[in-house]
Amino acid sequence: MSDALTTVAVAMFAGAVRVSTPFLFVSLGEALTEKSGRINLGLEGTLVFGAMSAYAVSYLSGSPWTGVLAAGLAGSVFGMAHGFFCRLPKVSDIAIGIALMLFGTGLAFFFGKGFIQPTAPRLQAIDFGFLTSDPQLKVALQINPLFFIGLALAVVLWWALANTRFGLIVRMTGDSAATAKAMGVSVDLVRFVATTIGGFLAGVGGAFLSLYYPGSWNEGLSSGQGLMAVALVIFSRWNPLMCVAAALLFGAAGALGPALQSVGISQGYHFFNAAPHILTLAILIASSSSKRSLKGAPGELSITK
Amino acid sequence: MSETGGRAIGVETVGMTKIFGSLVALEDVSIRVRPGTLHALLGENGAGKSTLVKCMMGFYQPTRGEMLVDGQEAAIRNPREASDAKLGMVYQHFTLVPSLTAAENLVVSRPDCPAVIDWAHEILALEDFMARMPFRVPLATPVANLSAGEKQKLEILKQLYLDRRFVVLDEPTSVLTPDEADEMLSLLKGMTQRGELTILMITHKFREVTAYADEVSILRRGRLVGGGLVGEMTTDEMARAMIGDTAIRERAARLEHGQTSVVLDLSAVYASDDDGLPAVTSVDLKVHAGEIVGIAGVSGNGQSELIEVLSGQRDLDDGRILVRGQGFEPVRDQMDRLKVFSLQEEPLRNSAVPRMTVAENIALRTFDKPPITSLGWWLSPGPMRKKARELIDRYRVKTPSTEEPMENLSGGNVQRAVLARELSGDVDVLIVANPCFGLDFASVSEIRTQILEQRNRGAAVLLVSEDLDEILELADRVAVMSGGRITLQAPIGATDRTAIGHAMAGGH
């Protein structure tokens, strides 16, 4: 029994590391976008389109890292589109987000039809297996470099929000657009840039899906990670470091189903697979109250205003 | 008095005119603010004060007219050019970022803010700067946690930090207790006298003008109608220039009621603010029939939350509300049965549906009763409009028709329409919050008279106001709220401005 428990624990750890990466990228991007005062719900579409373009470019060029870059650039284009439409008068960022989500997924399916069959070169993991002799842990310690890039990005973003002019201006724009305007800051430009960077990161998150785990391109690739990342940003109170913790938690929850199955518990498999979604729901309920406003929320955010 | 050695700069406008579409907001205004003076800009709401200063600060482009800075013609096309010319403005609504600390707010406002901020160095520089200033604020606290007075000080410090030599202050004392206001104005006055700064202060408080300003300019309906050295003008002259020949309704006389019974009775009322923190703490208050109890206090000390509890917009955490000895829960049918009515602050937001018509808004309390409703469910617009027309006439609401969306009416007329709805019936309890905020003299006088008439008729009136003069004028008894508690309760004759001021600052 304790063997099974270890197996599940190790599998969940491996899952947390593996599954969390797309959550991490999308939520870091979304955290930056929301810090600037806009919410981009279209990241799900960006993620799927990023996954498709990464796979396609990796297949065509033979280099998975070129694929990652392509996914990021494709994501930036979606971010730019969001930023551009939202600066028009009386346009709701939420409606544009939903439109871009559907558009991104649709477009990815349209262009991705031809890439479902072929096998593209995938990203290689870094093997930390030498650290242990346990065979299960050896497998778990195959970690993708993107995970470490995500961790580094979280620290950089956290630092930059407090210690750079760019960071302060993003926070100012997100908290009080009137102040930013009074100081001659172009609110639309700041949000455009923040949304574009957010799109880039979401695209890279998508590349991880198609080029590493699960590691192929098909239409059922994303199970709503892009949308859950929005919940995750609220859960982490717009703090990039908390995003890491939240992404790991969501990753571990996502690995629960397969982990239990691997030790022979297949009862309630689908229920355990739904763990991240249930977690999303639980967190949103637990973290909101009808009586108090959300702590730490950027003042300009349309959902919390 | 030319202060060539001083840092303060003088600013002059010449024939400043601003036309928005068909509206002439500002017509041929020339004012001269000499360096090293504190110049007051007086005028009613809508007189063009903000339009004038916004033209000076580059927010608006004047239709005609020009500006002289230190005697030189200067084109100020946007706020950045204003700041280059060392002109700055402190807005009535704060322009600090709530989630940023005071230090972050100051550093990010600097045009030469470095791309990567060396906080150790910046904090030292800021502490050094603060040490030279007449007042200081904590640097490491997020602005959201500062008091209104500290925010106001930080706004002014920001102007000095940015090395502005001419600063416009828009109603700088509206969020301060009388003591804080006096302290701040005398410090600023000192700075102008030392030639460090020139100040143009928008205000409507004559007391501040006579006590602190050197010169005054008075605007009415977009025109400069008076001004000069403060020492050479009486407040009466200033008031007449401000109001002009507008007919002001004679205030109703105050009837003496003698001993009356308690109508509204709050005991140990507790409520929380939007962050779940205690906002109203153990408030006990009794309002008798035919009495106005005025709650004074600096905004943000729990008054809004108290009003929201009484009007059903916020949950009561603990305590009891009784009306004529019966438990009162602020829901529609109880308000109707116990005749509880209210005039809320910001009426367009709190007591009207902006996109519904004037007639519909006026019917909000009666639409489900005959004659508007028959058979319990059938609404007829005819009687609704008829009733609305009657009330529009009686309360002199200026509206093109009963079918005009409420949001198209001016502030004074929205308040009159709400007044018509709330006061036309039989009123036992009236809850009023900042009823005259942002209104012109004629409306203010009208609304205060109506409130007084309800009192004379025997209603129990609870009046919350940030305008101490309004409380001193209307209330029979005054209560002061500070930090969510009642810190003073006294009959109006038994207290004075100083005692109230101390209580507003939290003293007892």
The ipTM value here is: 0.85
Q: Provide the CATH number for the domain around residue A57.
A: 1.10.3470
- Going by C-alpha positions, the residue among B32, B31, B35, B82 that lies closest to residue B192 is B35
Residue B390 or B468, more confident? B390
Contact B276 A168 (CB under 8 A): no
Buried b / exposed e along B377-393 (16+ C-beta atoms within 10 A): eeeeeebbbebbeebbe
Model confidence pLDDT, tens digit, residues B230-268: 989 888 888 888 877 666 666 667 888 888 899 999 999
Among A169, A292, A293, beta carbon nearest to B108: A169
Question: What confidence tier does B128 reach under pLDDT thresholds 50, 70, 90?
Answer: very high
For the segment B92-97, the average pLDDT, to the nearest whole number, is 79
Q: Is residue A267 part of a domain?
A: yes
Beta bridge partners of B19: B24
Do residues B173 and B203 make contact, with C-beta atoms less than 8 angstroms apart? yes
CA distance B51 to B43: 12
Is A300 a member of any domain? no
Chain B contacts of A296, Cβ < 8 Å?
99
For residue B122, the distance in angstroms to the closest alpha carbon of chain A comes to 11
pLDDT value of position B247? 62
Closest CA to A146 of A247, A290, A33, A294: A247
Residue A225: which of A276, A288, A270, A281 has the closest Cα? A276
pLDDT higher at A68 or B135: A68
> How many beta-carbon pairs below 8 A join chains A and B?
67
For residue B314, give how far its alpha carbon lies from the nearest alpha carbon of chain A (Å).
8
CB contact under 8 A, B114 and A165: yes
Residues 6+ apart with CB under 8 A from B115: A164, A165, A166
Domain that holds residue A267: 2-287
Nearest to B275 among A178, A292, A299 (CB): A292
If pLDDT is split at 50, 70 and 90, which confidence band does B4 have? very low
Residue type (1 letter), B318: D
Q: Which of B53, B59, B77, B97 to mutate to test the interface with A (most CBs of A within 10 A)?
A: B97
CB-nearest partner of B117 from A165, A175, A184: A165
Distance from CA of A183 to the nearest CA of B (A): 7
DSSP string for chain A = -HHHHHHHHHHHHHHHHHHHHHHHHHHHHHHHHHHTT---TTHHHHHHHHHHHHHHHHHHHS-HHHHHHHHHHHHHHHHHHHHHHHTSTT--HHHHHHHHHHHHHHHHHHHHGGGSSS-PPPPPPEE-GGG---HHHHHHTEE-HHHHHHHHHHHHHHHHHHHBHHHHHHHHHHH-HHHHHHTT--HHHHHHHHHHHHHHHHHHHHHHHHHTSS-S--TT--SSHHHHHHHHHHHTTT-HHHHHHHHHHHHHHHHHHHHHHHTT--TTHHHHHTHHHHHHHHHHHHH--SSSPPTT--TT-TTT-
Structure token digits, residue B426:
């039989």
Domain membership of residue A299 (yes or no) is no
Which residues in chain B have Cβ-Cβ distances shorter than 8 Å to A36? none
Across-strand partners of B464? B295, B433
Extract the tokens encoding B490. Answer: 């006294």
Residues of B in contact with A298 (CB under 8 A): 99
B463 pLDDT exceeds 90?
A: yes
Say yes or no: do domains B11-97+164-243 and B262-339+427-492 share a fold: yes
**Chain A CB contacts of B96 below 8 Å:** 176, 179
Asked if the Cβ–Cβ distance from B108 to A165 is below 8 Å, we say: yes
Summarised one tens digit per residue, pLDDT across range B151-180 is 888 999 999 999 999 999 988 887 788 888
* pLDDT, tens digit, 9 for 90 and up, residues A122-156: 999 888 888 888 887 887 888 899 999 999 999 99
Work out how many domains chain A is built from and give that number. Answer: 1
Would you call B315 and A292 a contact, using CB atoms and an 8 Å cutoff? no
User: Exposed, middle or buried: residue B153 (CB in 10 Å: 0-12, 13-18, 19+)?
Assistant: buried
Torsion of CA A143, A146, A148, A150, to 10 degrees: -140
End-to-end CA separation in angstroms for chain A:
51
Say which DSSP state B97 is in. Answer: -
Predicted model pTM: 0.80
Q: Do A176 and B96 touch (CB under 8 A)?
A: yes
- Per DSSP bridges, beta strands B166-170 and B198-203 are parallel
CB B155 within 8 A of CB B94: yes
E strand intervals along B236-360: 262-272, 278-288, 291-296, 318-323, 326-327, 340-343
Chain B environment of A163 (Cβ under 8 Å): 116-117, 119
CATH-assigned architecture of domain B11-97+164-243: 3-Layer(aba) Sandwich (3.40)
Quote the tokens at residue B279.
């906002």
pLDDT of residue B241: 85
Contact criterion met (CB < 8 Å) for A289 and B276? yes
Query: What is the arithmetic mean of pLDDT over B49-60?
Result: 89
**Contact between chains at A291 and B272 (C-beta distance less than 8 A):** yes
Question: A interface toward B at CB cutoff 8 Å?
Answer: 163-166, 168-169, 171-172, 175-176, 178-179, 182-184, 289, 291-293, 295-296, 298-299
Residues in chain A: 305
Rounded mean pLDDT, A217-242: 88
B115, A295: Cβ pair inside 8 Å?
no
Strand partners, A142: A127
Q: Which CATH architecture has domain B262-339+427-492?
A: 3-Layer(aba) Sandwich (3.40)
d(CA B12, CA B34): 8
Max distance between CA atoms of chain A, in angstroms, equals 65
Residue A75 located in a structural domain: yes
Chain A hits for B78, CB-CB cut-off 8 Å, are: 184
Per-residue pLDDT tens digits for B271-319? 998 878 899 999 999 999 999 999 998 888 899 999 999 999 899 999 9
Q: Given an 8 Å threshold on Cβ–Cβ distance, is B98 in contact with A175? A: yes
Instruction: Note the pLDDT tens digit of each residue in A49-92.
Output: 999 999 999 999 999 999 999 999 999 999 999 999 999 988 99
Q: Which of A35, A164, A183, A239 to mutate to test the interface with B (most CBs of B within 10 A)?
A: A183
pLDDT given at position A26: 95
Q: What are phi and psi of B372, to 5 degrees?
A: -70, -40
SS (H, E, C) B229-246: EHHHCCHHHHHHHHHCCC
The answer to whether the Cβ–Cβ distance between B100 and A163 falls below 8 Å is: no
A8 within domain boundaries: yes
Residue A294 included in any domain: no
Q: What's the CA gap between A130 and A40, in Å, rounded? A: 41
Per DSSP, the three-state class of B54 is: helix
Cβ distance of A182 and B79 shorter than 8 Å: yes
Name, in order, each residue with C-beta under 8 angstroms of B407's C-beta and a sequence gap of 6 or more: B348, B354, B355
Instruction: Report the Cα–Cα distance between both ends of chain B, in Å, rounded.
Output: 45
Instruction: Say what the pLDDT of residue B5 is.
Output: 47
Q: In what order do the strands lie in the sheet with B166-170?
A: B87-90, B166-170, B198-203, B38-42, B215-220, B223-229
Note whether A175 contacts B272, CB cutoff 8 Å: no
Tell me if B116 and A165 make a contact (CB, 8 A cut-off).
yes
Residue A24 forms part of a structural domain: yes
Prior bond to A214 cis, omega within 30?
yes
Residue A296 in domain: no
Distance from the B112 Cα atom to the nearest Cα atom in chain A, whole angstroms = 10
CA A54, CA A80: separation in Å to the nearest integer? 19
Gap between the Cα atoms of A37 and A177, Å rounded: 8
CB contact under 8 A, A163 and B119: yes
Nearest-CA distance A168 → chain B (Å)? 6
Q: Identify all chain A residues contacting B93, using CB atoms and an 8 Å cutoff.
A: 178
Task: Identify which of B438, B374, B392, B403 has the alpha carbon closest to the alpha carbon of residue B50.
Answer: B438
What pLDDT digit, counting tens, does each position of A233-246 carry? 988 889 999 999 99
Q: What is the mean pLDDT of chain B?
A: 88
**Which of B99, B167, B308, B316 is the mutation pick for testing A, counting most A CBs within 10 A?**
B99
Determine which helix (DSSP H) or strand (DSSP E) holds B461, and give its type and residue range.
Answer: strand B460-464
The least confident of B140-149, B314-323, B353-362 is B140-149
Out of A172, A178, A299, name the one closest to residue B108 (CB): A172
Please list every residue in chain B whose beta carbon sits closer than 8 Å to the beta carbon of residue A164. Answer: 115-117
Contact flag A291-B115 (C-beta cutoff 8 Å): no
Q: How far is B109 from chain A (nearest CA, A)?
A: 7
Please check the confidence at residue A39 and state whether its pLDDT lies above 70. Answer: yes
Facing B80 at nearest CB: one of A175, A184, A292:
A184
**Least CB–CB distance from A176: residue in B98, B274, B276:** B98
Write the residue in A166, A168, A291 that is nearest to B100 by C-beta: A168
